[in-house]
Structure 1
Amino acid sequence: MDVFKAFAQQVGIVDPFGPGFLSVIITFLVALVFTWFFMPRLREFAVQAGWADMPNARRLNKEPLPNAGGLGIFVGFVVSIMVAWTIRPIHVELVNIQVLAIMLGAAIMVLTGFIDDQFNLSPLTRLLVQLLVSILLIVNGLKIDFNAIPFLPVVPDVLANPLSTLLTILWIVGLTNAVNLMDGVDGVVGGVGFVVSMVLLATAAQFTDRAAAVVVLAGLAGACMGYLRYNFNPSRIIMGDAGAYLIGFTLAAVSLLGTLKVSTGASLIVPLIVLALPVVDTTQVVIGRLARGIRNPLGHPDKTHIHHRVLARTASARRTAVILWVVALTCGALGMLLQGVKLPAILSTVVVVAACLWFVAHRRVRAHNRELELNS
């Protein structure tokens, strides 16, 4: 028992039998189990309601595919946070407000994404909503402090405040859209969302002022894992813009969350490195489209994304997803290392994440093989 406690402390778990760690485990399991069992029922309802993506030149599906998976992820996420609050309420009033702001912003983003999935909102409308939720976070104290960012000069408050606001908006809007643009191959965004959530969770667990962030990330990670069980190729349901917006926005917002510290600077290094895959993907796509003379690079979809390039080389959606999971996990491990996280914590995170991804992928493949046997 002493050996176990000593190892737990090495990976950032002060008391493995205490209410804090147990509440994180329960939050993760509630999100996982709820989403796991809720998703098939949601799929059935989505089919009846006609909530589906139709086949086209850019999509891989050959028949209508339910696109309401984001709703399932959101519901599992919210239920787990409610359970976590019931088990172990957050006692700092400011953090309660900030978590509620994140949840409200996530709800707005999910609703916007779902409406866009079904009725195709204009890019301007989506951008205005993203600006709105960014401002919602800012007025509740979730804001990047320009003067806390390493390697940049310290400027007077009269300049620092507007620069901080601008950076926060760019952070939220940029990461939200970066994650959304990655959603083109079965299992990619669900898996990357799970990887990033777990890496940020493990990193936040190393700091005493990030308890709320740990709980929120546990809920998101569990919901992503539950969804991935039905989205690994061949997918039974996709998340649509609703799910991609939820994952991108929540990861960007939670990286600003701290119990005592309401502005962040150096703490953004890890999420930026962990999210390097969607950031690099979006950057190269935008630059490429601008070079081709496209004035609105985000409004002209094509097949120049990283996942499309990898898919063209592998000719396998499964291999593409796994490769991008590995890239995301590698970036995550590097980010943790640069943040000063101890090696045992990094290795434990990599092993746990890899095991979870193997488990859900194996279950999806096995279920698909059974479907083929029954239909043969």
Structure 2
Amino acid sequence: MIQSGSVGLLAFVTALVVAGLVMRAGILDHPNARSSHVRPTPRGGGLGIVVGFLFSLALIPLPAPADQAMLGGLALCAVLTALLGFVDDLVSLDGRIKFAVLATISLALAGMAGPVTDLGFALPWLAGWLGSALFVFTLANAVNFMDGSDGLLASTLIPAALALGVLADGPVAVAALALAAATAGFAVWNAPLLAARGRLFSGDVGALGGAVIFAGLSLAWASTDRGGSVWLVPLLVLPLLGDVLLTMAARVRAGRSAFAAHRAHAYQLLISIGLSHRQVAMIWGGMSLSCGVLAIVASALPSHLQLACLVVAVVIFTLGHRRCRKLASSHGLDIHQ
């Protein structure tokens, strides 16, 4: 308990300080047609999440060589991803470059933190490796897509990381709690708690970096836990993955490009019809907390019932997502914009 508290405190304070320094650096996000802000706002504060997490690793005892290799590999991938995001925040990299670098990092992390080959039935190693890499790549992009509303990243990533900390044990559990604490340190500047808007944006450095850290820890847990626990991993991040994937599917059905920039995510539609950033963060935070609790309860069940819990949660989320889109349509919005 003392060890976890020390790790969490270091992660929180470091993230708080680093994010504050980034805010003073004056790297601004200028509003465009897809933005939810109207004034230039400092960005890149998510660097605090990555640095806070990395600093906290120094306090985690790693007696087993396997844990040392896994967390060392995760740290390296987090640094590379954060660097990719930070450079993109500064100069807007070509999409093909980002795709190639992130795909390479995803493949490397899947091999070092996983791969997951037990779904309740055995998968060939190659299939498990590619599937694990696809999860890392998809989650990183999903979090990046969803990082467009103040407090949303923190309200979803913190409950997910805390739940993972409960589900896992050993260094992975402590590292997951460190990620939650580092995200909370950044959230002091980003979450719209005392004002209608936050003062600092995460930027790609935090969205991509935080997502890759969570994905790596999730794979490390799922690949070593009893068979079938992998079904609980997407449950932890369902509010993030669900909005992105369902929105992309809806745009495809409407004849729009799934990958073109847009403002059709459910959280964006809710803001467009008048909900505040605080309200949206609370909604997604409530969903994320519920998914975390469900995952913890389901972890005691057989693998086929864990899968059933995921399916039920997906169905409920899908119905809510459709309801949100219908509500936005009734307000006259183009829900495929």
Q: Distance in 2 between matches of 1:263 and 1:322?
A: 31
Q: Distance in 2 between matches of 1:309 and 1:199?
A: 28
Note the C-alpha offset of 1:255: 0.9
Normalised by the size of structure 1, how large is the TM-score? 0.74
Work out whether residues 256 and 263 of structure 1, in 8 Å CA contact, stay in contact via their aligned partners in 2: no
Q: Distance in 2 between matches of 1:149 and 1:54?
A: 44
Q: Distance in 1 between matches of 2:135 and 2:53?
A: 22
Q: Which residues of 2 match residues 109-128 of structure 1 at below 5 A? A: 109-128=81-100
Work out whether residues 156 and 240 of structure 2, in 8 Å CA contact, stay in contact via their aligned partners in 1: no
Residue of structure 2 equivalent to 1:345: none
* Closer, same or farther: CA 23–71 of 1 in aligned 2, 3 Å: same
Note the C-alpha offset of 1:161: 2.3
Residue of structure 1 equivalent to 2:313: none
For the pair 1:71 / 2:61, whether they are aligned, the reply is no
Residue of structure 1 equivalent to 2:179: 220
Counterpart among 245, 253, 258 of residue 208 in structure 2:
245
Normalised by the size of structure 2, how large is the TM-score? 0.83
Q: Distance in 2 between matches of 1:217 and 1:313?
A: 35
Residue of structure 2 equivalent to 1:131: 103
Q: Which amino acid aligns with 2:283?
A: I
* Closer, same or farther: CA 115–285 of 1 in aligned 2, 3 Å: same
Residue of structure 2 equivalent to 1:277: 239
- Structure 2 residue matching 1:69: 3-state secondary structure: coil
Work out whether residues 212 and 257 of structure 1, in 8 Å CA contact, stay in contact via their aligned partners in 2: no
Counterpart among 197, 200, 215 of residue 161 in structure 2:
197
Q: Distance in 2 between matches of 1:211 and 1:265?
A: 18
Counterpart among 64, 76, 82 of residue 104 in structure 1:
76
Residue of structure 2 equivalent to 1:346: none
Note the C-alpha offset of 1:61: 2.0
Counterpart among 6, 29, 32 of residue 9 in structure 2:
29
For the pair 1:177 / 2:153, whether they are aligned, the reply is no
Note the C-alpha offset of 1:141: 5.6
Q: Which amino acid aligns with 2:20?
A: P
Work out whether residues 144 and 165 of structure 1, in 8 Å CA contact, stay in contact via their aligned partners in 2: yes
CA RMSD of aligned residues (A): 2.0
Q: Distance in 2 between matches of 1:113 and 1:264?
A: 34
Residue of structure 2 equivalent to 1:268: 230
Runs of 5+ consecutive residues of structure 2 not aligned to the other structure? 302-337
Q: Distance in 2 between matches of 1:93 and 1:127?
A: 32
Between Structure 1 and Structure 2, how many residues are aligned?
A: 297
Identity of aligned residues (%): 25
Work out whether residues 158 and 183 of structure 2, in 8 Å CA contact, stay in contact via their aligned partners in 1: yes
Q: Distance in 2 between matches of 1:292 and 1:166?
A: 30
Note the C-alpha offset of 1:24: 1.1
Q: Distance in 2 between matches of 1:230 and 1:139?
A: 35
Runs of 5+ consecutive residues of structure 1 not aligned to the other structure? 1-20, 205-209, 342-376
